[in-house]
A = this chain, B = another copy of it.
Amino acid sequence: MPSDAEPAPVSAKTPVTLREVAATAGVSVATASKALNGQGRMTAETRERIRETARLLGFRPNSLAQSLLRKRSFTVGLLTNDTYGRFSLPLMAGVSDALVDKGVSVFLCNVEDDQRLGQLHVEAMLDKRVDGIVATGKRIDRHLPVDLSDLRIPVVYAFTQPDPGAVGLVSDDAGGARLAVEHFLRLGRRRIAHVSGPASFAVVHTRAEAYRDVLKENGLAVNEPLLGAWSEGWGHEAVAKLFGSAGREGWPDAVFCGNDQIARGVIDALRERGISVPDDVGVIGFDNWEIVAEATRPPLTSVDMNLSTLGREAGLALLSLVDGQPAAPGIRKLPCRLVVRQSCGSPPE
């Protein structure tokens, strides 16, 4: 946006000091300080004049010094190594949502996977005297690459591996898998396959075990889950394995997938083989990543880990620790929910 007049260069302005407020108001620094802190003895007029001067100059009292008196800074740090924010940002929204009414702000800091950097950022948060820290990550079976075990401020872990004896919140993955498989059963599906991610993830086993349990409870045949990558490409490969045989009667009538990208690949691959979703096969994903689930044809039914609720609960737990309430240590599992779209069809007549 060009303009005729050459604009003035931007340069750094320094914060107004208490000294400047005092000088402008014609009082001592001590008097100015007392006036702004509501302490000391002076006339109401003097106090008001100093406050008005401070306001006009845009003076910001050193809230840190004030909050140290109150032992509260009304700021919470959120540490994560989830660079893409898939999991951390919904969680952050929940933490914010829980705390904003108390006037608490949430600052996110990405510690990445570098221990040295991580420690630098943790130090910066401690230096800012955040009231507490919510530690989060991209998987629940790994600890963040920073040591948070002896910080002297409360730490709550959400969607990441907690320290022993700490408060941790994770999604109930077994419950989530159960929701998916039971949904298939209610719709009359009986030959249910499970296609999931790499065996190195704890949730892969948790979900597979729940899948097996539900089928066994219902007297149904359990197929060994197919494990691969968290990708669309693996969804295509899995379809080739499951639907490659000649005998249509051996095909699954439902596929429960370990994430939405796998489910997307499964649905695309089925369409390309002329197999109809949901008429021939129902498909359910995991994560409820809306941008993927809604663009899938048909739109994908998916298990939502309720990350913003997880964040909300983490925020409330942290707040109660900050307020000096003891909290029971250990891992609390919060329920998932099933978001039903069109990839499973309707119940049988």
Residues in A lying within 8 Å of B, measured CB to CB: 1, 7-16, 58, 60, 62-65, 68, 71, 73-75, 77, 83-85, 88-89, 92-93, 96, 100, 103, 105-110, 117, 120-121, 124-129, 132, 150-154, 164-167, 231-233, 261, 264-265, 268, 291, 295, 321-331
Q: How many copies does the complex hold?
A: 2
**Nearest 7 interchain pairs by C-beta:** A85-B85, A105-B124, A9-B326, A107-B107, A63-B127, A64-B64, A108-B108
Closest chain-B Cβ to A278's Cβ sits at a distance in Å of 19
Partner among B11, B68, B151, B327 whose Cβ is within 8 Å of the Cβ of A9? B327
Given contacts A62-B64, A89-B83, contact A321 B152 (CB under 8 A): no
Out of B16, B62, B96, B103, name the residue touching A110 (CB < 8 Å).
B96
Contact of B11 with A321 in the complex, beta carbons under 8 Å: yes
Known: A63-B127, A92-B110. A10 touches B231 (CB 8 A): no
CB pair B103 A14 closer than 8 Å: no
Q: Beyond A74-B124, A330-B1, is A10–B167 a contact (Cβ under 8 Å)? A: yes
B321 and A12 contact, CB distance less than 8 A: yes
Taking each of A8, A64, A329, which has the highest tally of chain B beta carbons within 10 Å of its own beta carbon?
Answer: A64
